[in-house]
A and B are shown apart, each in its own frame.
Chain A
Amino acid sequence: MIAAPVKWAARLTPAGALTEALSQAMTVSVDWFGVALLAAWGGLAGLAALRWFRFT
């Protein structure tokens, strides 16, 4: 049995969000929470990359 906090931590990773979104898509439903989570991860990383990315 997996503890609830571990389960939630897994769910909140990008891989967790993608897996859940994909699993639900296969049953013809949309996991809006997963999609929003992926967008949030992308937005956060995008801002951080714009701030700290260096070509050299």
Chain B
Amino acid sequence: MLLTMFIPITLLVGLTLLRLGSFGDNRAATFVPVIMALAVISTAFTGQAIAVAFDRRYGALKRLGATALPVWGHHRWQITGGGHGGVPAGNHLGAIGFALGWRPHPAGLALGAVIIARAPQCSPRWVCLLGGTLRAEIVLAVANLLWFVFAATRRADRADRT
């Protein structure tokens, strides 16, 4: 919840309302897609990786492994469930962005919705790779570290454009 909602919302409101740096007049339009992408990645990757790792630690995955479910079936299940977790995050941040003055083109919004629904589906594969191979504590550390790397790279990329 901290990485998927609280920090992204705080970043969005803070970066939009506080006039830090030169990011143009329409700061909401600059920051909403960036923070939305961060929240979607947090939901589809960071939270899920930690959950899978601890499921494995406490034996939940072992019980799944004892059923007829193949490895690819588990991955498909993770992709379907975890990959769509980014949609509510995108909705919440979009609503907050709208309140902050973000006014995207309706066609752009529809295209963005498709990308939010489909693109994060690459994350659960990383979730399975990390959560299904490393110790839970290592996954916790790596997933949180990657969150900071993703957040920093977003800032680096965006700062270079403005």
Task: Give the B-binding residues of A (Cβ under 8 A).
Answer: 1-2, 6-7, 9-11, 13-23, 25-28, 30, 35, 38-39, 41-42, 45-46, 48-50, 52-56
Contact = CB atoms under 8 A, between A and B. Distances in A.
A46 B107 CA distance: 32
A18 B156 contact: no
A50 B116 CA distance: 25
A42 B154 contact: no
Main secondary structure of the interface of B (DSSP, over half): helix
A7 B71 contact: no
A18 B125 contact: no
Interface stretch (B8-16, B17-25, B33-41, B137-145): B33-41
A18 B120 CA distance: 8
Given A7-B156, A10-B157, A55-B65, A26 B105 contact: yes
Given A9-B153, A22-B115, A27-B108, A15 B38 contact: yes
Given A19-B37, A49-B132, A2 B112 contact: no
B157 A25 contact: no
A10 B68 CA distance: 41
Contact of B115 (A7, A21, A27): A21
Q: Which of A1, A11, A35, A45 has the most CB of B within 10 A?
A: A45
A39 B65 CA distance: 27
Contacts of A9: 153
